[in-house]
Amino acid sequence: MTRAVAGHRPRASKSSLRRASRTLGAVVRPRDERLPAPKVLSHLGVMIAVAAVMGVLVAGLVIPFAGVFGFTTRQVADTMDDLPTELQTEPLAEKSTIVDAAGNVIASIYDENRVNVSLSQVSRIMVKAIVSIEDYRFYEHGALDLKGTLRALLTNQANSGVVQGGSSITQQMVKLTLIDQAKTKKEIEAATDDTYARKIKELRYAIAVEQQHSKDWILERYLNIAYFGDGAYGVQAAAQHYFGVNAKDLNLNQSAILAGLVQNPTKYEPTDFPDRAEDRRNVVLDRMAELNVITRKQADRVRKIPIQKTLNVQPSQNGCVYSRAPFFCDYVLNYLSKDPELGKNPEERMQFLKSAGLTIKTTIDLREQKAADDAVSAHVFPKEQAIGGLAIVEPGTGDVKALAQSRPMGRDRSKGQTYLNYTVPKEYGDANGFQAGSTFKVFVLAAAIEQGIPLNTVITAPGTMSIPEEKYKDCDGKPYGYGTWDVKNFDYATHVANLYTGTRNSINTFFAQLEQRTGICKPYELAKKMGVRLTNPTTSKHGLAERVPTFTLGIADASPLEMSEAYATFAARGMHCASRPVTQILDKAKNVVKEYPSECNRVLEQSTADAVNDILRGVIEGGFASAQALDQPAAGKTGTIQGAKAVWFVGYTPQRSAAAMIAGANQDGTALPLDGLTIGGVPRYGASGSAFAAPIWGDAMKRIDDHLEYEDFVYPSGVPGAGQTTVPQPKPPKNNGGGGHGRGNGNGHGNNGHGNGRGRH
């Protein structure tokens, strides 16, 4: 496995670098007034002193100037000799791209919007334009162009401002490189100070660069490092941003605009100051005509074109908020920020991701993401006090195919926006999750089957029960406690049920008794193995333990992704695969930086998973969620917590697992009861998993299964009691005029602590 961060180093704050770059305007600092005489003499003195060391001028010419500026030729030479003889040019920061499973771009992330290109990928007219205005003798001189500098100084003085570049392109490239590679505030200040020492240092580096690299290499790096305004670094990003074309396709007009920008990217930025940008473009055109790079006729023709008509500005969409799948994108970045192979700490990892020009290949399927988005948005609206979410996972790989939630990404709460990702575990999205209700009953069910309890085991489940806690064994084999647990069915009725009917009808007292047989340790540990991030068994953020008798009623918080991952284990016949949003990271040369293979291990016997599948398909095939039947076999489980603060439906086919949730939540994430809240534009009462969450699941999966091959579950042959889906019921007692049991609907299967556990399905 290749280590991704070899040679990577911490970078200075990009906001600091950007401010420095904009202030400098690619080395030649903008002036609206004539340069003061002392400044002219200072520049001239440094230039002549260094020229002497280079042997450009005779000693007699230099000495008078050296005396004026207080240094000798020998002092300059000694200073030059003390400087490094080589400029270390580190790779330039480039934006990284996040793509879906089919290779479609879903987001770009960067500190500097840059895409490096070779000189051959830049149009010839763009190359000629930049050389004409910045350093017309670039291919003729060395690091210092005495003639060009003198000419620029005189021309700029005559025009009361900066018209032509005074420093060579090599000098400009050196300065921008030093700024870009500055690591600390002190280094940034040293790279931008207007001092004699800095100028000498830059010239020494320029000499070294000219000795070690070709002119084409220098020009290529300059075109890639230069800032072109409005967040665009390098000629390729600038071409795409301002004109929607690649650098190789830039025409004369576009090239003249960009070439004029590097002198002062802020002052001449065409979207904010089109008049200034047009004037500057015309200066470039005139200079190109003067040098016979283009004809006067060509220059005059382009000068007549209004700059507004040439712009085709493409907004810079940096980050997940602009993504087609913003919360999936956010999950990807948080997932990668925890990978120690990408850097020493989360900050260094994110810097690497945003600056290394990577291609991050993910597992998302945009067809399924669209189906998930549409399903959630149709049932829960952004500004409502309810939050809807849906997570879709592929069984057998753990590939996360879609994440959708009703509140869009952003900070404007008046529009219902949030940065909390409610669909993923807290470590990846900062949301605490919500109690999952009766969807947790499957962990007790699977543990019972794994322990050999036949599927046709019959249990009489009274409408209400007070169960001594000592009947529940913990992991050490000792009784859980010595109090009592009062539990009720949603309808207060007595049921005689087996594992099929007890699960299909979600009977609380049935599962309370089944958990006595399994103990509370096995279901708890199984849920953890299947991907549910449970707390320490003795403490939690609610002040409640989770490894308790009420575990079966879903008192633990969970996210849709955790529940989708867990149920995918049943679909994969007992093979648990950790949720995986990323498959590969490639560098800019398309070499593999890091692979992310599926992480799967068996946590259940195949026969156990097959039996669970056979039981849960009854919830859709004639059960509470029958309205959500698909074109192929599917299984699932409803869930509603006490107080109706959340409703769930987790369902799956052999090829997809999806968890849908609706929970009451303020903008800060504080839980609220759903009853009385407006959900989908309508005030709702009597919330249940089958009536509220299941339709989200059904709307999405009915579209998704259209592109999936038909596949059936494996029948649980050899499992005791398999297929016995009915239970003979005792004859009801004679009616002597007494009242019935159905005295209310309640509000949820789950409960806080050891209280009542009644509710809807």
Residue 96 pLDDT > 80, yes or no? yes
Phi, psi angle pair for 329, to nearest 5°: -60, -45
What pLDDT was estimated at residue 184? 84
Is the residue at 725 inside a domain? no
- 455 and 594: one domain? yes
Among 163-172, 319-328, 500-509, the range scoring the smallest mean pLDDT is 163-172
Q: Is 164 among the domain residues?
A: yes
Tell me the three-class secondary structure of 567-579, residue by residue.
Answer: HHHHHCCCEEECC
Report the domain count for the chain. Answer: 2
Domain membership flag for residue 576:
yes
Looking at residue 346, its pLDDT comes to 95
The CATH number given to whatever domain includes residue 162 is 1.10.3810.10
Predicted confidence band at 318 (pLDDT cuts at 50, 70, 90)? very high
Of 282, 309, 336, the last residue of a domain is 309
| Residue-wise pLDDT tens digits, 435-484 | 999 999 999 999 999 999 999 999 999 999 999 999 999 999 999 988 99
> Residue 342 to residues 8, 178, 349, 354, 365: CA-CA distances in angstroms?
10, 25, 5, 12, 25
Any domain includes 566: yes
Q: What tens digit of pLDDT does each residue of 675-728 get?
A: 999 999 999 988 899 999 999 999 999 999 999 999 999 999 999 999 998 887
Closest among 401, 370, 397 to 703, alpha carbons compared: 370
Tokens of 47: 């230039």
Confidence of residue 156 (pLDDT cuts 50, 70, 90): low
Please, how many CA atoms are within 13 Å of residue 661, restricted to the half-sphere of its CB? 33
Note the pLDDT tens digit of each residue in 407-427. Answer: 999 999 999 999 999 999 999
Interatomic CA distance for residues 461 and 496, integer angstroms: 6
- What's the pLDDT score for residue 544? 55
- In whole angstroms, what is the distance from residue 40 CA to residue 44 CA? 6
Residue 577 lies in a domain: yes
Helix (H, G, I), strand (E, B) or coil at 584: strand
User: What confidence tens digit (pLDDT) does each residue in 99-136 have?
Assistant: 999 999 999 999 999 999 999 999 999 999 999 999 99
Residue 79 pLDDT class (50, 70, 90 cuts): low
Domain limit, last residue, from 309, 331, 366:
309
* Structural domain includes residue 103: yes
Average pLDDT over residues 196-210: 85
Task: Return the pLDDT at 679.
Answer: 94
Q: What is the pLDDT of residue 519?
A: 96
Task: Establish if 411 belongs to a structural domain.
Answer: no
User: Which has the higher per-residue pLDDT, 45 or 106?
Assistant: 106
**SS3 of 273-291:** CHHHHHHHHHHHHHHHHHC
pLDDT of 155 higher than 70: no
Q: Which of 138-142, 541-545, 625-629 comes out lowest in average pLDDT?
A: 541-545
Residue that terminates a domain, selected from 707, 739, 755: 707
Looking at the structure, tell me whether residues 450 and 304 fall in a common domain.
Answer: no
pLDDT digit string (tens) for 218-234?
999 999 999 999 999 99
**242-268: average pLDDT:** 97
Residue 760 above 80 pLDDT? no
Instruction: Check whether residue 153 and residue 289 sit in a common domain.
Output: yes
Distances (CA, A) of 545 to 16, 465, 475, 524, 531: 48, 22, 14, 11, 18
pLDDT score at 159: 60
Does residue 5 carry a pLDDT above 70?
no
- Provide the mean pLDDT of the chain: 85
Kindly report the CATH number assigned to the domain that includes residue 665: 3.40.710.10
Confidence of residue 166 (pLDDT cuts 50, 70, 90): low
pLDDT at 9: 36
Label each residue of 43-105 as H, E or C. HHHHHHHHHHHCCCCCHHHHHHHHHHHCCCHHHHHHHHHHCCCCCCCCCCCECEEEECCCCCE
Which range marks the domain in which residue 460 is found? Answer: 434-707
Q: Is residue 562 part of a domain?
A: yes
What's the rounded mean pLDDT across residues 528-541?
79
